[in-house]
Every structure is written in structure tokens, then in C-alpha cells.
A and B are shown apart, each in its own frame.
Chain A
Amino acid sequence: MQPPQPDSPSADPTAQALVDDSFVPVRAKLIEVAAFLDRVERHGVDDDFRCQALNKAAQVLLDGEPERARRILESLSDPTTEPDEVSTGKPAVGAWQDPASQ
């Protein structure tokens, strides 16, 4: 069996298996996101920039447009273009924070 070609929808009957096999695990991940947002709100840390970035990124799921994964990754990325002068010495945390807002 050949893979679907880029830019063309798959007519393969196994396409239904994408839903059959993956729906429950993906459903669980979405509930994890919801529970996480509930949790940080309940504990009063939902104003953390990472939680706010996650809320903003989640809006992509609702806009009905394609390439959701790419756009969510871009939403969480550093949008600047020049190298940083010095290292903060800290690891990446998963969401970009404007230094001016720190």
C-alpha cells in the first residue's frame, strides 16, 4: 500500500483507523490540558506567562484553519530575530516571555 501524496486527501480505507485508533488517547490529552488550566487557576498561578501562552495557543484549536500544530508551535516561539547578547544560563521553558514584561 502506498502512502497518501502530499496535498491530496487519503482515499485509503485505513484513514478511518486514524480516528478509531487515536481518538481516545487524544481525548485524554485534551482533558489533561483542561485539567491543567483548572488546576493552575485553583491554585492561583494561572497568571504565569506560560499558562497565559498556553491559553493563547489553545485558541488555534478553535479557528477552523489548517496547520494547527505548526501555528501552535509558532505561537509559543521567540519571535525575535537577532542573537541574544548573553546567555541567561537558564534552560528553555516552553513559552517565550518578552524580556520587557519581566
Chain B
Amino acid sequence: MRYIEPHGHMVSRTTNDYQAMVTAGCAAVCEPAFWAGFDRGSADGFRDYYRQLTEYEPARAAKFKLPHYCWLCLNPKEAEDLSLAADVLAMIPEFIDRPNVLGIGEIGLNRNTRNEMKVLEQHIEIAVKYDQLILVHTPHLEDKLKGTKLIVDLLKSHSEVKPERVIIDHVEEHTIQHVLDQGFWAGITLYPDSKSSPPRAVDMLEICGRERIWLNSACDWGISDPLAVPKTAIEMRQRGYDPEFIDQILFQNPVRFLSQCPNFSVPVT
């Protein structure tokens, strides 16, 4: 079996996880910029982080012949500080041409505030200006439904944003259809307690179809599983899905979306 991990925060993971993912069939890993678990004190902290995403992690993954890609942004949880956000966003163009950069992400909302909306808008403008793909984080728990609607409305208000070049991640049963109906891609995150489980993810595929959807683990510093994507293949097999279906969801779909970025390629297998 082959699969893509389109959303893994590998800076938080051990090297053992790289080894396990490759053993399970991972053909490429993609790492959105995110919250470190604490608010960074200055823009310089983000400069170091972007170097980690574009220099150190690709080298660490390369030890296992695993292509590593990343996305750049200021995560929405730190977007409340507009001064910090301005400094960090001004830095992004310095890194945007690096060879493993896929686009702008994971941008979005955290608590659905006006400042978060302003910074989201600024990120979208950067993506449009530099013709970048967009990866969107939708809020947690009780904030997800409202936040997803706000995000979709904002993206749709930009005439230059092409929905087929945007993936809206962490969808659940109450948000996935709205995202797909508006022409965006949808990411289902397999994460304990919050987000989705493997059975629920396969339920959503059965209800919403198999187009413009990918699965990811979003493994990070919290309780999470870097092998959640291949483990979901077990659920698919138990329900009688054939290998072609599994390959489409776990490999072909993410490759189709990510190949819109010229930097992305995976070895032919």
C-alpha cells in the first residue's frame, strides 16, 4: 500500500515516526506551519521555524528517502496579535521560493475573532499575489461550524481565489458538504477525541463521495497518531473496499491536489 501524509507536524515527532511511516507505505509527507504549543515571543521565532520547515525537516526525512514538503503561514492561534502578524507575514516571501514549499497554510480561524479574520485575509492576499495553493485550518469543537462558514464566505468573496486550489481541512459531518458544495477540497483529520475517527471518515466518504477529499493524521505534539491514515485503510478493507478505492483516497487524491504546485512530485511506484 502507498499513501501520502498530507498534514503532519513532523517537527513535533521523533525520527522513529519517520521510520514507521515509511515502513507503512508513506510516499511523501507535507507539513503545514502551525502553533508550537506556546505563543512565540517575536517574529524571529518564526524565522527559525521556517528554516526548520524548509531545511532541517526535509533533511531528516531524506534519511528515509521520504520527500518532505511544507506550507508557510502564521497560524490563526497567534493571529490575535496584529503587530506580530504583520512582521511574520512580511517574512513569508523570503521563504516562498524554497523548493519544498507547497503554499500558504495552515491559515484559517481559531476562535473566530475579527483580528483572526483580518490576518486570514492578509494570508489570502499573499497566496493570490504569489499564485500559491492554500491550506485552511478550521476551528476546534464548538467553533468549527461558524468558523467554516466564515472562512468559506471570505474565500468566495475573493474573485482571484480558485476553489480547486484550496483545501479546507479538519472537516466533520456538519461541515464537509458545505465545503464540497462550494468547490473546495476537504480534508478529514483522523485525531483522537476531537475531529474524526477512521470509521467516521469512511462514513463521510460513503455519504459525500470520493472526489476532492483527502485524509490526514495532523500528528503533532498532542495525543495523535502518525499512522492514522494507513490504519484507516484497515477500516476500508473491513467494509469491503477494493485496493483501487483505497489508493484513490490515500494516494491519488492528495497527489492530484498537491500536483497543482510545481514543487510537488512523488517517486513513481
A interface residue numbers (CB < 8 A to B): 1-4, 6, 12, 14, 17-18, 21-22, 67, 69-71, 73-74, 76-81, 83-88, 91-96
Contact = CB atoms under 8 A, between A and B. Distances in A.
B209 interface: yes
B113 A86 contact: yes
A38 B116 CA distance: 39
B172 interface: yes
Residue in B113, B174, B242 whose Cβ sees the most chain A Cβ within 10 Å: B174
B241 A17 contact: no
Task: Determine chain B's interface SS by DSSP, over half rule.
Answer: helix
A94 to B, nearest CB: 5
Interface string B102-117: 0000000011111111
A73 B145 CA distance: 9
B245 interface: yes
Tell me whether chain A's interface is mostly helix, strand or loop, or mixed: loop
Interface string B209-240: 11000000000000000000000000000111
Interface stretch (B19-27, B44-52, B135-143, B183-191): B135-143
A83 B205 CA distance: 31
Given A1-B241, A14-B240, A88-B111, A6 B208 contact: yes
B240 A12 contact: yes
Contacts of A18: 239
B240 A69 contact: no
A70 B173 contact: yes
A18 B172 CA distance: 21
**Tier of interface size on chain B:** 35 or more
B146 interface: yes
B199 A22 contact: yes
A76 to B, nearest CB: 6
Interface of B: 80, 110-117, 139-146, 149-150, 172-174, 199-200, 203, 205-210, 238-242, 245
Quick one: which of A4, A17, A73 has the most chain B CB within 10 A? A73
A41 B241 CA distance: 44
Contacts of A6: 206-209
Nearest to B205: A3
B142 A2 contact: no
B142 A70 contact: no
Contacts of B207: 6
Contacts of B140: 91-92
A95 to B, nearest CB: 6
Contacts of A80: 146
Contact of A78 (B146, B206, B242, B245): B146
A76 B142 contact: yes
12 contacts: A1-B242, A3-B206, A3-B240, A14-B240, A70-B173, A78-B112, A81-B146, A83-B117, A86-B115, A87-B115, A92-B143, A94-B142
Contacts of B206: 3-4, 6
